Amino acid sequence: MKILIDFFPILLFFGAFKLYDIYIGTGVLMAATVVQMAVIYAIDKKLTTMHKITLALILVFGTLTLVLQDERFIKWKPSVLYAAMAIGLGVAVWVYKKNFLKALLGSQLTLPEPVWMRLNVLWIGYSAFMAIINGYVAAYFSTDAWVNFKIWGYAFPLVFLVGQGFYIARYLTEEEPKSPAP
């Protein structure tokens, strides 16, 4: 069910774009993201910082797209989000010596410190790559090609997350069941 919630806005955007145009698609994306965040909030009783940033960027860039009738704003929103993630993770780890990935996931995963650092650097690189590739497609391809890239481009995060899973799997320790003391 969580995966449906995550893909709900982009699928509706894609459908509205294909049936109508980028502006109707943008309005649908904005509304669907608000609904998505309401559902997440109803389930989890909170929104993560990433949820809040994503919602704000979609509403701001979507509003600019609709008000100014300029599709460039919605096309560049993913690049702004990914670039902000790369910069935020980089500044946190190299300037403030804080690893946000460990702070977010450390209670769920026990990994050696060097692995947390490599994961953080991998996320910085991945986010920078996604910002650049989206920017390239947004700048040099048609809106139709960009929308198709947004749908089929979900292969990038899927490959990244699966690869990351394989990478950390060897570092995860299984907890031994505790036997009762005699």
pLDDT 10s digits, 25-57: 999 999 999 999 999 999 999 998 888 999 999
- Residue 60 sits in the same domain as residue 147: no
CA distance 15 to 25: 8
pLDDT at position 180 is 53
Residue 178 has pLDDT above 80, yes or no: no
Residue 152 has pLDDT above 50, yes or no: yes
Is position 158 within any domain? Answer: yes
The predicted-structure confidence for 96-115, as pLDDT tens digits, reads as follows 999 988 888 888 888 999 99
Domain that holds residue 12: 1-70
CA distance 151 to 64: 22
- Residue 87 sits in the same domain as residue 164: yes
- Residue 50 sits in the same domain as residue 127: no
pLDDT at position 127 is 96
Is position 144 within any domain? Answer: yes
- Residue 52 sits in the same domain as residue 135: no
- Residue 44 sits in the same domain as residue 127: no
Q: Determine the average pLDDT of the residues in 115-122.
A: 95
- Residue 81 sits in the same domain as residue 56: no
Q: Choose the final residue of a domain: 43, 70, 97.
A: 70
- Residue 61 sits in the same domain as residue 75: no
Give the pair of three-digit tokens for residue 99: 């690893």
Q: Choose the final residue of a domain: 52, 70, 88.
A: 70
Q: Choose the final residue of a domain: 54, 70, 86.
A: 70
Give the pair of three-digit tokens for residue 115: 């692995």
- Residue 12 sits in the same domain as residue 91: no
| DSSP letters for 5-37 | HHHHHHHHHHHHHHHS-HHHHHHHHHHHHHHHH
- Residue 104 sits in the same domain as residue 28: no
Is position 180 within any domain? Answer: no
| DSSP letters for 78-115 | HHHHHHHHHHHHHHHHHTS---HHHHHHTTT----HHH
SS3 131: helix
pLDDT at position 177 is 46
Is position 181 within any domain? Answer: no
pTM: 0.84
| DSSP letters for 37-88 | HHHHHHHHSS--HHHHHHHHHHHHHHHHHHHHT-THHHHHHHHHHHHHHHHH
- Residue 63 sits in the same domain as residue 76: no
- Residue 26 sits in the same domain as residue 108: no
- Residue 102 sits in the same domain as residue 165: yes
Using a 10 angstrom Cβ sphere, with 0-12 exposed, 13-18 middle and 19 or more buried, the burial of residue 144 is exposed
Q: Which residues, 6+ apart, have CB-to-CB distance to 17 below 8 Å?
A: 24, 25, 147
Which amino acid does the sequence have at 167? Y
Report the number of distinct structural domains present in the chain: 2
